[in-house]
Amino acid sequence: MPHDDHVMLESRDLAKTYYSTEPPTQVINGVDLIVRKGEFLVVMGASGSGKSSLLYSISGMDRPTSGTVFLEGRDLTSLSDVEMSRVRLTKMGFIFQQAHFLSNLNIRDNILLPAFKAAPKEKDAAVARVDAIMERFGIAHIKQHGITQVSGGQLQRASLCRALACEPSILFADEPTGALNSSMSTEVMEALTEVHSDGTTLVMVTHAPACAARADRVIYLRDGRLVDSRQLGRWSKEQSTQREDDLLAWLRKLGF
């Protein structure tokens, strides 16, 4: 099938079974998904429905058991581990619930690490880029701080800066606000909304309807199957309450 230039990521008949359990657990079951360039897609579903497993399988953090994943038309499932690592480093950004920063490095050096690894000969350019990103997301003043000297919201904004340091085509976020209080959560969602407005494609797993309401589209998983999808269109602050109410009504119908 020829590649459609508007498609960033596509999975076809994706399945994932964990064989470490007895009996093996099939957690993703025949997921066909298309993420368009510039789209902000949210994955929702009950706990254990397979959201993180889907995110890991489509982002090359884990290998699906069967099916295919294409990033801008390139079959990721056929890549070697080394090739896949390179794609993750240069084309993808990741944010998790916890920051996973090194405690012996300050915030800025943590953010710089992947950029230095991706292009060791272009360190000056990486420093300039990272300084600009930190300025933009309001954390330039904590550059030299250790990771225990900043708030949870600042640390997640630092995670976002690290994820953006290599200018990824697509950003994957797994419960990025899961460990934050509501004001810090809003802070991080504001930053993600900005990243999306810049044109970055975003795929985010969340349990929080208020965070999901910022997406262009929400998909719903049940027992590893994609059972429904809701198009929300572009987020705007004025319509945020209405969007959240609509989304909640849809989620309740699905048994969320």
Ligand X SMILES: Nc1ncnc2c1ncn2[C@@H]1O[C@H](COP(=O)(O)OP(=O)(O)OP(=O)(O)O)[C@@H](O)[C@H]1O
Which residues contribute to the site for ligand X (CB under 6 A)? 18, 20-21, 25, 27, 45, 47-53
Sheet holding 170-174, edge to edge: 92-95, 170-174, 201-205, 40-45, 217-222, 225-231
Q: 100 or 141, CB closer to ligand X?
A: 100
Longest Cα pair distance anywhere in the chain, in angstroms?
53
Give CA separation, 70 vs 13, 36, 99, 160, in Å. Answer: 12, 12, 27, 24
Q: 57 or 110, CB closer to ligand X?
A: 57
Q: 25 or 193, CB closer to ligand X?
A: 25
Smallest separation, CB 134 to ligand X (Å) = 30
Q: How big is the chain by its Cα radius of gyration, in Å?
A: 18
Q: 153 or 224, CB closer to ligand X?
A: 224
Residue 76 DSSP class: G
Smallest separation, CB 224 to ligand X (Å) = 7
Q: Tokens 């298309």 — which residue?
A: 34
Q: 49 or 159, CB closer to ligand X?
A: 49
Number of Cβ within a 10 Å radius of residue 180: 21
Q: Which amino acid is at 88?
A: R
Smallest separation, CB 227 to ligand X (Å) = 13
Smallest separation, CB 179 to ligand X (Å) = 13
Q: Which of 106, 118, 117 is nearest to 158 (CA)?
A: 106
Q: 19 or 183, CB closer to ligand X?
A: 19
H helices present in 36-181, as ranges:
51-58, 81-91, 107-118, 123-136, 152-164
Q: Tokens 């880029």 — which residue?
A: 129
Q: Are 66 and 233 in contact (CB under 8 A)?
A: no
